[in-house]
Structure 1
């Protein structure tokens, strides 16, 4: 599996009520061995997580089911990450 850095930034219409759903989504990914690490930015503008997937297409499919994305409250961008 490859690693993908999922960068998330809050939009003006961000709804704090979605945060627990997003956190549960990340916990589910962690239990599946797909989320290596995650966390918010110190300035509270968003956060990031390191996703494991077979391809960019699969990573996008997974990230686009994140409540942070489906709620419309965050902009999400993925980068294939060749970390060592």
Structure 2
């Protein structure tokens, strides 16, 4: 069993396209650290999800999410769920 962190992201009414571009660059950095397993947007454009792995614990996963430009720029909110995978 492996512990991952499912991050569900919901756009706010204040969403800006520039924040989306910053978010994509941010995820590239997380991927380069081998902490991003998969990511994608919802087809209805309301948000998306990503899965973090190789992260010490939930607090460390939350710290990554808190640094996401979507959150820091107020363009989205996110919830982090600890997820056991097989």
TM-score band by shorter chain is over 0.9
Moved over 2 A (4+): none
- 2:84 is paired with a residue whose SS is coil
Q: How many residues align?
A: 84
Any residues of structure 2 matched to 1:15-34 within 5 Å, and which? 15-34=16-35
TM-score by length of 2: 0.92
5+ long unaligned stretches in structure 2: none
Q: What is the TM-score normalised by the length of structure 1?
A: 0.95
- Aligned partners of 2:3 and 2:85 also within 8 Å: no
Residue aligned with 2:60, SS:
helix
Structure 1 gaps of 5+ residues are: none
Q: How far off its partner does 1:3 sit?
A: 0.7
